[in-house]
Structure 1
Amino acid sequence: MTQDTLPGDGVWTDESDWEFADHEGELDQEHVPMPTLAVVGRPNVGKSTLVNRILGRREAVVEDIPGVTRDRISYEAQWAGRKFWVQDTGGWEPDAKGLQQSVARQAEQAMQTADAIVLVVDATVGATSTDEVVARTLRRAKTPVILVANKVDSEKLEAEAASLWSLGLGEPKMVSATHGRGTGDLLDLVLESLPDTPRETLGGTGGPRRVALIGKPNVGKSSLMNKLTGEERSVVHDVAGTTVDPVDSLVELGGKTWRFVDTAGLRRKVSQAGGTEFYASLRTKSALESAEVAVMLIDASEPVTEQDLRVISMAADAGRALVIAYNKWDLVDEDRREQLEREIEREMVQVQWAKRVNISAHTGRAVQKLVPAMETALESWDKRISTGALNNWLKEIMAATPPPMRGGKLPRVLFATQASTRPPTFVLFTTGFLEAGYRRFLERKLREEFGFDGSPVRVSVRVREKRERKK
């Protein structure tokens, strides 16, 4: 079999009807950043029910008590062929104290960063003083706002809902999130209000990079947060599970400002946690989704557990840059170090790419080493490889180590491109399926050639049928 060549246009193929522009155009539609719709309102007006209705599936937690949703949680939605993020928020109380004050901050931040806003009001109650304060704030915002009168389950409630014109946000869109009444028309209006591309992307210029401190309960996350901030920012207690809500702190490290989020320890399974622990687990997942790099704390003085591995997998599956910090290193003797090395080699083979730092949150030992580890991981997370360099490298790899044959045929890679960053995602256009083992081989070789320390790398294969030539 003859070896394919790499033409000057960057397409590795011997088929004249395969064109560079064809592949690039195909990817453009799939990796365009999506705009965000924030769903806001006071507690218990049906925001999460409406989010579920928009999504067409049950994702947001719904309960008949106010304040179940405490953090901003984002979900991917699609309507009429367009994709966008839907951000569920906690209820906004202008005079909120304590926990409700934290909820209010989350809702306000969603309003500041969203591309369109849905303000949900309970039509059966009417406009409250809280609704009026929210509406006054939103009238000053440049972001498009859609006023939704929820719980309009019948025509007789429409007259009462019409009174919401008084909020000064235009015509209230009458819906019943529970029954789906009016939600199709609402979604049409949402698409009209959302821009084609978001006004703000994750980790954009000017803002501090977001770091999520994750790990099982009582591993030292809050102690590390307090050491970094130099104050008792997070509650520390020997009882596992002290932290419930994600706690945000701006931290000066290495001459930069970072936004750290201390999260609740994740249980072995969400289904095993009840009440407050269950919702804490959901909010921790949300904090991880909104972060750019995760710092995973592991108690180095104890054996690596199933909980540790599950949290690590969650960070990797979320596509976040990852630093693994082995905490309580001051308690580790020589025997434990040798044992830990064997555990890492045996149990953590899937995340060998993660940056590793040995620290002591209690004494502050080597905490500053987190900075270069996070910077390297984020640099890899943001890295982009040119199409020419990628295909030249791939040509050499395929020539030296061809993929396994399938059905008596040797799959050929016709073209490769980096579809996106954060994390680096590569798409291979092939004439046949590539075995999972060979894809892992390519990922390993990618890392050897281009780096990507501290970042997951995704390699997907798109099998293309040979096109019939025009006669």
Structure 2
Amino acid sequence: MTEEEYIPSSTDTVDDDLAHMTDEDHNARTEAYLAGLQQYDLEEDDHQILAGFEDEEAVEEVSFVPPVVAIVGRPNVGKSTLVNRIIGRRQAVVEDVSGVTRDRVFYDAEWNGKPFTVADTGGWEYGVKGLDAKVADQAERAVDVADAVVFVVDATVGITATDEAIVTMLRKARKPIILAANKVDGQSQEADAAGLWGLGFGYPYPVSGLHGRGAADLLDSLVDELPEESAYKDVLTAQGPRRVAIVGRPNVGKSSLLNNLAGANRAVVDELAGTTRDPVDELVDLDGQIWEFIDTAGIRRRQHMASGSDYYASLRTRAALDRAEVAVVLLEASQPLSEQDVRIIQMVLDSGRAMVLAFNKWDLLHEDRRDDLEREIDLDFQHVAWAPRINISAKTGWHKNRLVPALETALDSWETRIPTGQLNSFIGELVAAHPHPVRGGKQPRILFATQSSTRPPKFILFTTGFLEPGYRRFITNRLRQYFGFQGSPIEITMRVRERRRR
């Protein structure tokens, strides 16, 4: 035995003993432990914890869906800069090169008390091929589901052939159009904006997405055109969808998986690594249940080493994890597990989200590679052996039916709470069979245990001394063996308390 691990000296009968205990037995033991704990000096917040954690907040029902505004324009006219101005925070990825935004990305916004959703899009171009054509297609899809459109034009350049082609596309959509003459940074440039009357969409609002000039007038006009709620709200369920982030290194197949699940080209897919820059949200119906999937940018390198759009995309991937409830970590089965894969898994662990490991391109895997992969998993992923594993093909949809059961298992574990009586009986039986080692003539004891929260499950142990990391890992592993928690991280913290002096 070393300080890093705790190895029990013998087997035990904890499971059998607990199986024969009744609720009355659990409660009696808990009351005895709680009475003993009162002999120790407790802090004010200790009493709040011991009083029991409150029920989880009910999932907020979604009865109102705000209207959607699509922001469209040719590349590099400042759409994402204007989006950041409208939503009041720097969230859309902005860089001083064209083509940074590629997918349609949704953000919450509000103006004068009216909530709405902003759909930022990639630059629209006519007659392009390859990746640019896919980006343009996403912009057109955003217009299709929008209640109104803000058409952004660079006032300093004037009307281009691409702008005129966008006009033709927008007229077919038959949506309210607000014309934004962007990059009007001063009064001397307002004459440039006046030249945009020729587009036929009425008054061109002179704005500066960078400095905010004229944004208020633009927003006043926009909210007047918006309906009370979106005309495309029927895809939402009553209580709102479960949120799933798809994470992984670049070009591992995240966008292909989202498109296959959605049954449409929802995210831009290209052989070029790093196609996705912003998190992409999509509501997907799987087996009659609506899920909100969030496709994220691939993590290329350590955040402090990234620059430009890669750096901000990394930040947004972390923010997407914060919004999600469960993460699907997509790994390429045909390639050796990399440091990036391990780092991404650690990012999910740090976020406290439930987790599913999905090995992509498994249907193309050679038998010899499968043996190597199993060894790599045993070596590198021991600390997440509790995460459900599925083998899929993001491109063809092979075994995608296994994703929902794995997600449901992980989410159920993430939201599991153990009654305090059962928890203390379990800890009591476990410690009696396997006490903490004596160190320096002292042996710390566990006085009381409680689960302080769920999502993820967090446990607090009141102790007479510091529990070694190896012993805490032993308790964690046994909690998983007895109570499950497949797919969810577990957090155990200690509160060391001294006996009250008389």
Shorter-chain TM-score category? 0.5 to 0.7
SS in 2 for 1:461: strand
1:225 and 2:258 matched: yes
SS in 2 for 1:11: helix
- Spell out the pairing of 1:88-99 with structure 2 (5 A cutoff): 98-99=121-122
| TM-fit CA distance, 1:230 | 1.1
8 A contact 1:325–1:357 mirrored in 2: yes
| TM-fit CA distance, 1:285 | 1.1
| TM-fit CA distance, 1:15 | 5.2
8 A contact 2:49–2:452 mirrored in 1: no
- Per the alignment, residue 11 of structure 1 pairs with 33
Per-residue CA deviation, residues 124-165 of structure 1 (Å, 9 max, x unaligned), is 958731353588799x99xxxxxxxxxxxxxxxxxxxxxxxx
- Per the alignment, residue 275 of structure 2 pairs with 242
The aligned amino acid for 2:216 is T
Identity of aligned residues (%): 50
The aligned amino acid for 1:128 is A
Per-residue CA deviation, residues 337-387 of structure 1 (Å, 9 max, x unaligned), is 110010001011111111100111122111110111000000000000000
Change in Cα spacing, 1:30 to 1:135, as seen in structure 2 (3 Å) is: farther
Distance 1:360 1:399 in 2: 48
Change in Cα spacing, 1:273 to 1:33, as seen in structure 2 (3 Å) is: farther
8 A contact 2:105–2:120 mirrored in 1: no
Partner residue of 2:350 out of 289, 301, 317:
317
1:272 and 2:305 matched: yes
- Spell out the pairing of 1:201-220 with structure 2 (5 A cutoff): 206-220=239-253
- Per the alignment, residue 296 of structure 1 pairs with 329
1:436 and 2:459 matched: no
- Spell out the pairing of 1:8-407 with structure 2 (5 A cutoff): 9=31, 11=33, 14=36, 16-17=38-39, 23-26=46-49, 43-44=84-85, 47=88, 98-99=121-122, 125=213, 128-132=216-220, 206-407=239-440
Change in Cα spacing, 1:392 to 1:353, as seen in structure 2 (3 Å) is: same
* Structure 1 spans left out of the alignment, 5+ residues: 35-40, 52-59, 75-86, 106-120, 142-203
CA RMSD of aligned residues (A): 4.4
8 A contact 2:409–2:487 mirrored in 1: yes
Distance 2:265 2:94 in 1: 33
SS in 1 for 2:418: coil
Distance 1:94 1:418 in 2: 38
Change in Cα spacing, 1:262 to 1:8, as seen in structure 2 (3 Å) is: closer
SS in 1 for 2:278: coil
1:454 and 2:491 matched: no
- Per the alignment, residue 193 of structure 2 pairs with none
| TM-fit CA distance, 1:268 | 1.9
Distance 2:331 2:422 in 1: 38
SS in 2 for 1:213: strand
| TM-fit CA distance, 1:254 | 2.5
| TM-fit CA distance, 1:9 | 2.0
* Structure 2 spans left out of the alignment, 5+ residues: 1-25, 58-81, 124-138, 146-208, 230-236
| TM-fit CA distance, 1:410 | 1.1
8 A contact 2:95–2:308 mirrored in 1: no
Change in Cα spacing, 1:9 to 1:135, as seen in structure 2 (3 Å) is: farther
SS in 1 for 2:355: strand
Between structure 1 and structure 2, the one with the greater Rg is 2
Change in Cα spacing, 1:426 to 1:98, as seen in structure 2 (3 Å) is: same
- Matched length: 360
Q: TM-score, normalised by structure 2?
A: 0.62
| TM-fit CA distance, 1:239 | 1.1
Distance 1:287 1:222 in 2: 15
Change in Cα spacing, 1:229 to 1:435, as seen in structure 2 (3 Å) is: same
